[in-house]
Each structure stands twice: as C-alpha cells, then as structure tokens.
Chain A
Amino acid sequence: MNTISNDGFSRRTFLRVAGGALGGAWLTLDLAKVAQAAHHAHEARETAGAPDTSFLSKAELADVDAIAAQIIPTDDTPGAREAGVALFIDRALATFFGRMAPDFRSQLAAFRLRCQAQHPDVGSFAALSNEQQIEFLKQVDRTPFFERVRLLTLVGMFAMPKYGGNRDGIGWNLMGFQDQHIFTPPFGYYDRDYPGFKIEVVSKS
C-alpha cells in the first residue's frame, strides 16, 4: 500500500503547501514529502454549531427523522439517524435550501394526513412500528415528497460535514469514500499490475 493515499491530508495543510502553486514550487513538489508533512497535521474539522434556525416543528422533525432512518437504516453500522440527517434537512430548508421549503411543507402535511388516516390510533409516522413504517413507505415511495426526502437524505448523509450532516464522516465511512487531496497510483486492485497500454495494429476496413 502506498503511504500517501492512507495519510490524512487536511485542507489547511493542503492550501499552505499549494499556495503559490502557480509560482513554480508546486511543479517540482515531492509528493512523498508533502504526505509526510501532512501526516502530522491535525485535521481541522469543520463542524457546524447547533442550528440557530429551524423550519420543522418537533413532530414534523420526528417524522422526517423516521423517514430518513428508513432510507438509510441503522443496523450493525450507523445510518442516517446517527449522521444527523433530519437536523440537516431542517437547517437546510430554513437556510440554503429555502427554495424547496414551501413544497416540502405542503407535501409533508399531506404525508402526515395520509399516515394518520391509516393509523388513527397511533398519530404519527414516527410512532409506528418498524414494520408499519416500512409498509407505509412502500405505498408512497414513488411520490414527489418521498423523492425529495430521499434526495435530501443523501445530501445530508454525504455532503461535507460542515453543513451539519454526515456527522463524524458517517456517510463517507459507510461508502468507503476518502476525502483527500492527493492520491497516487495504483488507485485500486485492478490497476496495480497493469502492464501498460499496447497499441493493437488493426486494418481499417
């Protein structure tokens, strides 16, 4: 295994090294030295504080959290709930995804009404049993509302943690994604022993 691709390499260090990239130093940069320097650099994690604005009510938030937890469930590894997806969605709709908020609110209301109509004794999607939740979502998983929650769940699961989701890199860990700035070949198993490209001589018909 090469050392560079396994060493953490923070953006701050990266920018320090890359600063003046076009000045020339970067052109002859020894990647091994960069990686070594980066190895000791502490990753300055960009974390979001508690959301100061919220869009959803407590009950709505609980339902969104329950839906997200069905989309990427918690089993032997963490899921959307642990990644903080519901709070991410709440914060996003209150701020940078405000353009989606009006539709989201009306669609969520329709979702909740439909759920309550089917389960008048329970009252909310979040309060249903796991099996009941799955059963209900199967009825609605082609609706624009579910499609929107699904997309927002993915954004909350896999976007940079600074936006409040993907807490502790839970999403990236699930996917086996490494957020780094420098990788060197071989990148995977199949390019490890690649013999080099051979030009085949073919006659053009």
Chain B
Amino acid sequence: MTKTYRLSETVDFAIVGSGAAGGVIARELAQAGFAVVVFEQGPRHTLADFQHDELKNWFSSGLINDVVKNPQTFRDDHSKRGERNLVRPNLYYARTVGGSSTHYTANYWRLHECDFDECSRLGPIAGTGFTDWPINYAELEPYYTKVEWEVGVSGLAGASPFDPPRSKPYPMPPLPPKSSGVLLERGARKLGLHPFPAPLAINSQPYRGRPACIHCGFCHGHGCEVGAKASTLTTMIPEAEATGRCEVRSESYVVQVATDKNGRATGVRYFDGEQRERFQKARAVVVSANGAETPRLLLMSANSLFPQGLANSSGLVGKYLMWNFTTRTHATFEHELNEFKSVQCSRIVHDFYDSDPKRGFYGGGGIDSRIGPQPIIWADRIADDEHLWGSAYKQRLAEFPRSMQAAGHGTSLPLETNSVELDPELKDAWGMPAMRVTYKDHPDDLALMRFMQARCAEIMDAAGAIKVSNSPIKPQTGSVHMLGTCRMGNDPAKSVVDRYHRSHDIPNLFVCDGSSMVTSGRGQPTLTIQALAFRAAEHIANFARRNEI
C-alpha cells in the first residue's frame, strides 16, 4: 500500500510535477525520510495503456497536453496577438505520471564543460541574456553519474573524444546499431569526424528490475510498453512510493502556490480529477512542472504580496525561453534500413559541439541518425515542394524502408523577449489563464541550423546516399524542450533561483526542471535536468535536516 496523506495534514514537501525532475526529487526526499506528495496534472498510465497509436499520442491528448482543455497561444513578436493552434500544441509535453520522460526519445547527452562557462570563454553577446551558470561541470559530474546508474543509461564511455571527464563508465553497453547508425558512422568517418554510440536511457540488457529493449520502434512520442525506456513512471516514482512516505496524486492540477503574510509558501491549491478545488498544506514546495508550466504556475500564483507572481522580483520568471532546434536531412539508400525498428538513435556526432568564432556566429550542436519517427509524422515531414502530393509523393512514401534522417540539434540563445506568460484573454478548461508563448529565433540560431544541416547533408552524401534532401530551415514555432524560464544564478536581480534551486524571494519555494538551465546545451536536456534534480534534492534534504528551510 502506498501512503495517502490527508488534506488536514501538513506534509514536508509538495512537489508539483512527476516528470524527469519531479520524480527524482520525490524519490530522493522520500528516501531521506520526508513526507512527500507529488501532484501530477495528468492521469497515471500502466504499461498496458501504451500502444503504437500515433493518432492518440501525437494528434490527440492520449499523452500530451490537450489543445482544447489546456490551450496555448503563440506569437513571434510582442506586438502581435497570440494565435491558437488547434492541431497540436506549440509547446507540448506528456501530461501524465512520469511527465515527458514517458514519451521522450531518451537521448541522454551530458552537457560539456563549455556549456556552463561559455560566456566567460567567448565573451557576452549583445542583446542576449547569454551568461555563465553559477555551477560548473565538475560540480554536476557526480550527479550525471548518479542518473546514469540510478535511472539506467546504455552507452560506451570513452567512445567520443569530445566527451567531458566522467567518474564512472555507463552501467550498460550501447544498444545494437541500426542501419542508420552504421551509415552515419560510415559517412562521418569518411569525413574525418568522430561518430560514437548514442547514450540512451533505454536498457540494452535487463537493469534494476526492468527488461531490455524489444526494439518495437515506438520510443519517440510514445510510452514504452515494457518499461525498457526509463521513465520516472517506472523508475523513480515506484521507488519513491516504496518508502511508504510518498503519495503521487494524479489528475491533480496545481493552480496556485499559496504564501502567507511573511512571504512563505504554505501549500498548493489544486483541482482534483472531479474539478473540485483542494488545498494541501506543506512545509515547503518544489515546482518541477517543466519549463513551460513552471513559470505559468508561478505567474498564476500572484497575490497582494507578490503581485508579479511568485519568485519574480527579478521579473525573469518565464523569460529567456530556450529550445533546441532539430534540422532534418532526409537520405534514401539503395537497400533497406527499416528504421521503424528499434530505438530512434544509435550513433551521434559531436565534432561540431563547441562554438567556433571562425564560423561567424555563436553556437554548436550535435548530429544524430534517426527516422523521425513513425509513419504519420514521417510522411508529413518528407513532403516537400517536389513531393507534396500525387504520384511523386506516393513514390516517396514507398521509400520509407530505405530512408533515414540525419538530424542536427544545437544551441538556442537566451533572449528576454522569448517567453512564457499568461494569455490576457484565453482560459483553460478550469478557468485558469492559458499559456502565451512568444518566440523568435536569434539570427545566430538560424545560422547554426543552416550550418548543422549542411554538415548532415555532407555526412549522408559521404555515406553513399542515392538521394539527399533538406527540410527547409524555417523560424521555429514550437518545441518539446522548454528551458531557461526560471534560470539559476547568484544575483537575485538577474535570476530566479540560486545555485541550490531555492527561489531568491521565498525561502521554502524551490524550482528545479528545464526552467533552471542558464544555457540550452546542444540538445537532449533530460540527463542534465535529472542531474540537477539529484543535486537539488540532496541540498534541499540537507537544508531541511538543518532546519534551514
């Protein structure tokens, strides 16, 4: 029996969000002996619920936020009115116990040293919020290792000459290479590059009570039906519950973190599954609702003492929204690759990771091989000017088994104008303000996208592709990586949380998820989010033990 707390009780921690970060913090605090309630907007699924259902998982609210119930508006400029997208949300995430660790691709890249202090290395960039992190790689390294071993990551230590130092190898060998990985490796090596096995939070062999991958091909956008892909739903959450001190309250949508007259958090107001308003008292609150929902919740929690929203004396809650782009290069080969089988990525290239002033713009990135991902999405993505519909398009569709994508990912500069706010008009199904997203790529990000895509195309040519085409580089209008909106820093005027994820303004309010990131990394942020979560939980537990909360 898992623990159930009464509303009349005051728990030690209310944690908002059960995803990559919330799940880790819940387990760590519960194992440290604290009474914890985790609030999750979405339902709790079992593995049997996870089907190969693209319609449900990509185009309906099977896993992700519902464009009708949880609407958003999007605009690329503050002078415009936000527009609503009725097909798919601009920012989308899995709204379920496990959060987006349920439907992610599970690429687990560490940040490199440069990601933490690149501003010092390269100098500031005018018109941006580009700055160093308050922590460095060495400080986070033990927690990267902890994630890799506690969550379970398959990979090959030492395979990349660009990898930062690590204190331990991966706990599992890499997954078997796919044809796309072999071809990426072949092409990259021909060009003198250094491809290596993709580190993935997917079991290549049974690990910690979970089975090895069965290569069904439905990682990206879907839940893993056997639990081989590490979601906090199958890793951290059950371990947190096993302590007897953690309750996970699903279908519980937190709409306000409440504070008292002394400016301390007192608990969370939420709607339960029957839309009944509830209040849970807590000694401290941890917000890990993701880089979009976290700032929205802090802004919705505005009260007379904090009229700008909680933890927002800097005015930076919701600002500096960063994504990680994906460029797509489609390649067709003579023989079958059958990329619909197995995990998305098996080989990656980090030769272009560091920013190089010689390129004439800021930024760096990584390349991976994939199909991207299943039939409907692939069919949509390969449609281009020459094959938009008709016989030519139909022939293109039949090339699916012989096709792959080389995808470029990379940096996004932090701009104060890129933000998550409350929409002034639109409300969600609970009557709460909808999220308004404003985003416009920095010119350097677009230049980097073109650069990365050109490298992808060269690699596919070198690999012997008989046909290579690029999806046009366009301004981005959406993402699944929502970063930087409650950035960490030492200066309360220039950041939202301190180096321990404690908000500068409210001593018993902590924020830890993608919103904490100061720079975007080069793609694949989940491992970093979880390393930050392990580190934050350790400090939060110590503060609590020392009565410093």
**Taking beta carbons and an 8 Å cutoff, which residues of A are in contact with B?**
5, 11, 14-15, 18-19, 21-22, 24, 26-29, 31, 70-73, 75, 79, 96-97, 99-100, 103, 134, 137, 141, 148, 150-151, 154-155, 157-160, 163, 171-172, 174-191, 194, 197, 199-200, 202, 204
Contacts and interface: CB of A to CB of B under 8 A. Distances in A.
Interface stretch (B45-53, B265-273, B538-546): B45-53
A171 B185 CA distance: 31
Contacts of B424: none
Interface string B311-351: 00000000000000000000001011111111000000000
Nearest to A98: B68
A71 B393 CA distance: 8
Interface stretch (B36-44, B372-380, B429-437, B529-537): B372-380
Contacts of A11: 51
Nearest to A67: B389
Candidate in A70, A151, A175, A204 with the most chain B CB atoms within 10 angstroms: A175
Contacts of B68: 99
Contacts of B388: 141, 150
A176 B401 contact: yes
Contact of A22 (B59, B234, B374, B400): B234
A56 B428 CA distance: 29
Interface in B186-241: 194, 196-197, 206, 209-211, 214-217, 225-227, 234
B176 A191 contact: yes
B52 A179 contact: yes
Given A174-B397, A188-B179, A199-B159, A160 B380 contact: no
Contacts of B397: 72, 174-175
Nearest to B401: A176
B174 to A, nearest CB: 7
B168 interface: no
Nearest to B61: A96
B67 A99 contact: yes
13 contacts: A18-B226, A21-B227, A22-B210, A28-B206, A72-B394, A96-B55, A137-B389, A155-B376, A174-B397, A175-B398, A177-B340, A187-B178, A188-B178
B473 interface: no
Interface residues of B, number: 67
A18 B336 contact: no
B337 A190 contact: yes
Nearest to B211: A26
A27 B213 CA distance: 10
Contacts of B374: 177
A96 B66 CA distance: 12
Given A11-B51, A70-B390, A159-B54, A26 B226 contact: yes
Nearest to B203: A27
B472 interface: no
A160 B52 CA distance: 8
Given A21-B227, A158-B376, A158-B379, A75 B391 contact: yes
A154 B379 contact: yes
A183 B216 contact: yes
A109 B500 CA distance: 58
Interface of B: 47-48, 51-55, 59-60, 67-68, 86-87, 156, 158-159, 161, 174, 176-183, 185, 194, 196-197, 206, 209-211, 214-217, 225-227, 234, 333, 335-342, 374-376, 379-380, 383, 388-391, 393-394, 397-398, 400-401
B224 to A, nearest CB: 10
Candidate in B86, B159, B374 with the most chain A CB atoms within 10 angstroms: B86
B55 to A, nearest CB: 4
Contacts of A73: 390-391, 394
Contacts of A188: 178-179, 335-339, 341, 401
Contacts of B51: 11, 160
Contacts of B380: 151, 154
Contact of B211 (A19, A27, A185): A27
A187 B338 contact: yes
B52 A197 contact: no
B349 to A, nearest CB: 13
The binding surface of chain B is classed by DSSP as: loop
B161 A187 contact: no
B177 to A, nearest CB: 5
B376 A190 contact: no
A119 to B, nearest CB: 20
B215 to A, nearest CB: 4
Candidate in B59, B159, B227, B400 with the most chain A CB atoms within 10 angstroms: B59
A191 B181 contact: yes
A157 B379 contact: yes
Candidate in A26, A79, A176 with the most chain B CB atoms within 10 angstroms: A176
A131 B97 CA distance: 52
Nearest to B186: A190
B176 to A, nearest CB: 4
Contact of A71 (B161, B335, B390): B390
A190 B181 CA distance: 9
Contacts of A134: 390
Given A150-B388, A154-B379, A189 B234 contact: no
Contacts of A29: 211
B168 to A, nearest CB: 17
Given A163-B55, A171-B375, A175-B379, A204 B182 contact: no
Nearest to A175: B400
B86 A99 contact: yes
A197 B389 contact: no
B158 A199 contact: yes
Contacts of A15: 48
Candidate in B53, B197, B211, B389 with the most chain A CB atoms within 10 angstroms: B389
Contacts of B179: 186-191
Nearest to A88: B55
B194 A202 contact: yes
Candidate in B67, B227, B337, B390 with the most chain A CB atoms within 10 angstroms: B390
A199 B206 CA distance: 25
Given A194-B177, A200-B194, A185 B53 contact: no
B394 A150 contact: no
Contact of A191 (B182, B383, B391): B182
A28 B209 CA distance: 11
A190 B398 contact: no
Contacts of A159: 53-55, 376
A185 B342 contact: yes
B394 A178 contact: no
